[in-house]
Amino acid sequence: MLLKALAKRPEHRFASVSAFAYRLQFAAYSVDSLRESSEDRAGSVKSDEEMRDILEQEPEQLLDRWPSQIAPARAGAEQPRPRDIRRYGKRHENPASLRAPIPHGGREAPQAKLHRFIRLRRRTLVGMLVCLLCLAIFVTALQQHAGGKVTLVNLVGVNTYSITAVSIPATATAVASDATATAMHPDPYPPYGGTLVLDDPLHDERGPSGLNSSSSNPSDGCLFSGDAYHVTAARDLNRSCIATGSSFTNFAFEVQMSILIGSTGGMSFRADPIHGYLLLIHVDGGYELEYLGTSSPLLLARGTTPALKEGTNQPNVVAVVAQGNNLDLYINHQHIVHVRDGHRSSGQIGLVADASGAAGPSEVGYRNMQVWSL
């Protein structure tokens, strides 16, 4: 029986799994019991070869020859179903009959294992096909994105839909961007807590400050050169390069400056074309704060400080904090002087070179302009 079940050619095997199952159940009855029954019926003992030939017969033929041995088991209780016999090695118990041994040591039958493997592979392939189809729909929808809408193409016979994209307000985006920039570059000046609103390395005209090259004459004007912003004033003149579009009220304004040629540079703030404040830094370590707008400049503060690096080509970080009528000056992050003045409350910012009264021109290089709004 086992050789028949394992035959190489399909036509030599059992016709179905149920046929094999029933044959297996009948084989559970030992050859000895069948031989005893045959002795009772025929009065002779059959050999092992003859008993194997008998077991090779169909179940109905066995019923005809040994009804007393087999029929009670078939009529007295529910017979095992094929799926019960092959279900993951579980045994089917029949109270009215002997318990048939399960092949393969109680493990899952090879054929059942093969069927389960095929089912799992089939589910995997179906899942992959569904994922590929969804991906194709998504890519096609992106390709047809236009005018703020995405059209889902009818690839599988379903209706098409139009989904309007939701636009995030520019204000919310700007707030998130400002918060990120402030976290990276916090306000270093009292009262602290300012929001970074301008950060320009001053490498070229693409920066957000609005500074541009206003002259092609390197001896007088404003020019980007060598990853810095150069402001040059001819002899006996001063030059102020304004950041167009800038207007600040309460703020902290910082820039790094180096006097390359001459004697004086600095910054202007709360300015317009006629009025404004002017902070001048001298190459010898001195400083001046003036208000422009009267017939002559109004001097607000003057002095020298050891915080300033003297000489040419010396980088110094210069800053002013303007809050209401309070003006505070810082050089290299050290507080220099506090002034109260209410002539101007808001205006533009700019960078300065001054050669007034000097024997030659002044050229100043600037980098890293930053403004925090208070």
pLDDT exceeds 60 at position 92: no
**Residue 212 and residue 86 share a domain:** no
Question: Greater confidence, 44 or 138?
Answer: 138
Residue at 41 is within a domain: yes
Report the distance separating Cα 305 and Cα 268, nearest Å.
20
Report the distance separating Cα 265 and Cα 86, nearest Å.
95
The gap between the terminal CA atoms of the chain, to the nearest Å, is: 95
Number of structural domains (the chain) is 3
Contact 361, 235 (CB under 8 A): yes
Residue at 64 is within a domain: yes
Q: HSE of 94 in the Cβ direction (CA atoms, 13 Å)?
A: 20
Residue at 195 is within a domain: yes
At residue 22, the 3 state secondary structure works out as: helix
**Residue 195 and residue 332 share a domain:** yes
Domain end among 85, 108, 131: 108
141-155 burial: b if 16+ Cβ within 10 Å, else e: eeeeeeeeebbbeee
- 180-194 pLDDT, tens per residue? 766 788 999 998 889
Residue at 183 is within a domain: yes
Report the distance separating Cα 52 and Cα 2, nearest Å.
11
Phi-psi region at 43: left, alpha or beta (left = phi > 0; alpha = psi -120 to 50): left
pTM more than 0.75: no
- 325-364 pLDDT, tens per residue? 999 999 999 999 999 999 999 999 999 999 888 888 999 9
Which of the residue ranges 2-6, 96-100, 249-253, 297-301 would you say has the lowest mean pLDDT?
A: 96-100
pLDDT at site 249: 94
At residue 85, the 3 state secondary structure works out as: helix
- Outline where the chain has alpha helix (H): 2-5, 17-27, 31-42, 48-55, 59-65, 67-76, 82-85, 110-143, 170-184
**Residue 276 and residue 190 share a domain:** yes
Q: Residues 6 or more apart from 35 whose CB is under 8 A from it?
A: 45, 46, 51
| Reported confidence tier of residue 218, pLDDT bands at 50, 70, 90 | low
Question: Greater confidence, 281 or 214?
Answer: 281
Report the distance separating Cα 290 and Cα 292, nearest Å.
6
Residue at 349 is within a domain: yes
Residue at 169 is within a domain: no
Report the distance separating Cα 85 and Cα 109, nearest Å.
10
pLDDT exceeds 80 at position 372: yes
Nearest Cα residue to 365 out of 213, 224, 198, 212:
224
Residue 268: in which H helix or E strand, if any? Answer: strand 264-271
State which residues form the domain around 332: 174-373
pLDDT at site 307: 94
pLDDT at site 297: 87
- 224-234 pLDDT, tens per residue? 988 899 999 98
Contact 314, 332 (CB under 8 A): no
For range 211-227, the mean pLDDT: 80
**Residue 84 and residue 8 share a domain:** yes
Residues in the chain: 374
**Tell me, what CATH number does 344's domain have?**
2.60.120.560
**Residue 333 and residue 305 share a domain:** yes
pLDDT at site 46: 54
**Residue 329 and residue 278 share a domain:** yes
Contact 241, 233 (CB under 8 A): no
Give pairs for 66-69: CB < 8 Å, separation 24+.
66/34, 66/37, 66/38, 66/41, 68/37, 69/29, 69/33, 69/34, 69/37
Contact 102, 89 (CB under 8 A): yes
Nearest Cα residue to 364 out of 268, 277, 289:
268
User: How does DSSP classify residue 19?
Assistant: H
pLDDT exceeds 90 at position 370: yes
Q: Which residue has the tokens 């020019």?
A: 223
Domain end among 108, 139, 154: 108
Residue at 50 is within a domain: yes
pLDDT exceeds 80 at position 302: yes
Question: Greater confidence, 111 or 313?
Answer: 313
For range 165-176, the mean pLDDT: 40
**Residue 359 and residue 246 share a domain:** yes
Q: Tokens standing for 194?
A: 């300012």
Residue at 40 is within a domain: yes
What is the C-alpha radius of gyration for the chain, rounded to an integer number of angstroms?
A: 49
**Residue 121 and residue 35 share a domain:** no
**Residue 232 and residue 212 share a domain:** yes
**Residue 181 and residue 133 share a domain:** no
**Residue 318 and residue 183 share a domain:** yes
pLDDT exceeds 90 at position 260: yes
Neighbours of 354 (CB within 10 A): 24
**Residue 148 and residue 227 share a domain:** no
- The DSSP string of 269-310 is EEE-SS-EEEEEEETTSEEEEEEESSSS-EEEEEEE-TTSPP
pLDDT over 70 percentage in the chain: 63
Measured in whole angstroms, the distance separating CA 326 from the mean position of its chain's CA atoms is: 45
| Reported confidence tier of residue 212, pLDDT bands at 50, 70, 90 | confident
